[in-house]
Amino acid sequence: MTRMIAFRVRQWHKWVSLIIGAQAMIWLASGLYMVVMNLDFIHGDHLVRNMSDTISSGYEPRITFSDVLAGHPDANEIVLTNWIGKPFYRVYSPAGAHLVNAETGNEQSPLGEADAISVARYHYARSGEVSAATLLENDAEAPSEIQSRKLPLWRIDFSDAGSTSFYVSPDDGSLITRRHTYWRVFDFAWMLHIMDYKERADVNNNLLRIAAGLGLSLSILGLWLLWFSFKRRQGDR
Shared domain for 85 and 167, answered yes or no, is yes
Q: Three-state SS across 157-177?
A: EECCCCCCEEEECCCCCCEEE
Residue 192 lies in a domain: no
Domain boundaries, position 72: 44-186
- The pTM for the full model equals 0.84
Residue 199 lies in a domain: no
Shared domain for 160 and 53, answered yes or no, is yes
The span from the CA of 150 to the CA of 168, in Å, is: 11
What is the model's pLDDT at position 6? 57
Residue 36 lies in a domain: no
Amino acid (one-letter) located at 100 = V
Rounded to whole angstroms, what are the CA distances from 233 to 2, 223, 229?
Answer: 14, 16, 6
Shared domain for 181 and 208, answered yes or no, is no
Residue 145 lies in a domain: yes
What is the model's pLDDT at position 215? 79
The span from the CA of 126 to the CA of 52, in Å, is: 18
Residue 169 lies in a domain: yes
The span from the CA of 194 to the CA of 4, in Å, is: 37
* Digit-coded pLDDT (tens) for 90-146: 999 998 999 999 999 999 999 999 999 999 999 999 999 999 999 999 988 899 999
* Digit-coded pLDDT (tens) for 155-201: 999 999 999 999 999 999 999 999 999 999 999 999 999 999 988 88
Shared domain for 219 and 135, answered yes or no, is no
- Asked if omega into 152 is within 30° of 0 (cis), the reply is yes
Shared domain for 78 and 158, answered yes or no, is yes
DSSP codes joined into one string, 41-74? HHTTGGGB-----PPPTT---SS-HHHHHHH-TT
Shared domain for 222 and 170, answered yes or no, is no
Shared domain for 73 and 165, answered yes or no, is yes
Shared domain for 227 and 174, answered yes or no, is no
Shared domain for 172 and 217, answered yes or no, is no
What is the model's pLDDT at position 230? 67
SS3 call for 204:
coil
Overall domain count for the chain: 2
- Do 12 and 168 touch, CB atoms closer than 8 A? no
Residue 159 lies in a domain: yes
Give one word for 188, left, alpha or beta, with left for phi > 0 and alpha for psi -120 to 50.
Answer: alpha
The span from the CA of 214 to the CA of 209, in Å, is: 9
**Whats the size of the chain, residue-wise?**
237
Cβ partners under 8 Å of residue 156, min gap 6: 116, 117, 119, 120, 130, 132, 133, 165, 166, 167, 168
Rounded to whole angstroms, what are the CA distances from 148 to 16, 197, 209, 235?
Answer: 36, 15, 25, 62
Residue 179 lies in a domain: yes
What is the model's pLDDT at position 37? 96
Shared domain for 68 and 114, answered yes or no, is yes
Shared domain for 230 and 144, answered yes or no, is no
Residue 17 lies in a domain: no
Shared domain for 229 and 146, answered yes or no, is no
